Structure 1
Amino acid sequence: MPAALDELVEELRDADRQERIELLIDLANDLPPLPDRLSHHKDEAHRVPECQSPVFLFLEREGPKVRIFAEVPPEAPTVRGFVCLLVQGLDGATAAEILDVPNDLIQRTGMAELLGMQRASGLAGVLRRLKLMVARAESDDPASN
């Protein structure tokens, strides 16, 4: 797991319930706005269907590095916080590093305890969708084969 993501996961895991909520809200406030060049491409191809909140994910390749961009409405702070955790922790990582992120990331952060099963499942869907997008980008890139 990239060091940036590992630090964020550790910080959440080591926090008590109230601190964890506050950290998620702080992360939610830190999610950068979607760049203008991507804001006109919010369609079903970029939406995470597993999540009830409208979450849009975008990837761009910069050599071996993957740039991650996302949009989540402020009305969904826990989802927005988790997505920001992924953006802050994985933006600039390689495809291999992203694909190696453990699927039980939500449990490792301690967030599963805060959320109902449906919301936790939706957040797990965000990570699955991100990894699927990375895998597809890798298979479409002749330089990576």
Structure 2
Amino acid sequence: MSTDTTTQSTTDQLPEALTEIAEDFTSVSQQDRLQLLLEFSDGLPDLPERYAGHEEQLERVDECQSPLFLVVEVDPAEGGGAAGDRTVHLFFHAPAEAPTTRGFAGILHEGLDGLTVDEVLAVPDDAPFRFGLTDAVSPLRMRGMVAMLARIKRQVRLKSAV
């Protein structure tokens, strides 16, 4: 039995946006999953000006087959709010000729950007396997998406002091 089938029933542990994305992927054929991944690639926002041309401010995810850089921002706490309630923002940079890597980044951006620190940190580490892509892309590519999520969570911890 593949990981996809085993974990589909546990999508309730994902944040709402990631759950919806996982349901979209697992409800279509494998061929359509690749098309959907390309749509996420096309939808990945450009870096904001403050990061454009400044890749040294971004962290490279070496596990990705194509160059991928990311940076996490955590909004400052306002009015003595708890660190876990602060909002997380994600920014990615990957070349247009790397649609799979960009697609993974697009999924994580759409599913995690704007969540709180606590919500991002609660995302299960196996979340990338819940999109039904393990039979459609190589294990090496899946490793890249797992690494992206791990880097995001590490940066969230560092920047929120949680």
Q: Indicate whether the TM-score tops 0.5.
A: yes
1:109 aligned to 2:131?
A: yes
- CA deviation profile, 1:83-136 (whole Å, cap 9, x unmatched): 001101111001111111111122210111111121111221111111111111
Q: Is 1:33–1:71's contact at 8 Å kept on the other side of the alignment?
A: yes
Partner of residue 4, structure 1: 17
2:69 to 34, 49, 56: 56
The CA distance in 2 between the partners of 1:38 and 1:62, in whole Å, is 17
SS at match of 1:43: helix
Q: Which runs of 5+ in 1 are unaligned?
A: 140-144
SS at match of 1:102: coil
- CA deviation profile, 1:51-88 (whole Å, cap 9, x unmatched): 12111111122241011111111111111111001101
Poorly superposed stretches of 4+, deviation over 6 Å: none
Q: Is 1:48–1:57's contact at 8 Å kept on the other side of the alignment?
A: yes
1:100 aligned to 2:113?
A: no
1:91 to 97, 100, 113: 113
- Give the TM-score of the pair, scaled to structure 2: 0.80
Partner of residue 55, structure 2: 42
**Structure of higher CA gyration radius:** 2
The CA distance in 1 between the partners of 2:37 and 2:74, in whole Å, is 27
| Aligned residue pair count | 140
Partner of residue 3, structure 2: none
SS at match of 2:41: helix
The CA distance in 2 between the partners of 1:94 and 1:32, in whole Å, is 20
- Give the TM-score of the pair, scaled to structure 1: 0.89
1:73 aligned to 2:102?
A: no
CA RMSD of aligned residues (A): 1.5
Q: Which runs of 5+ in 2 are unaligned?
A: 1-13, 77-85
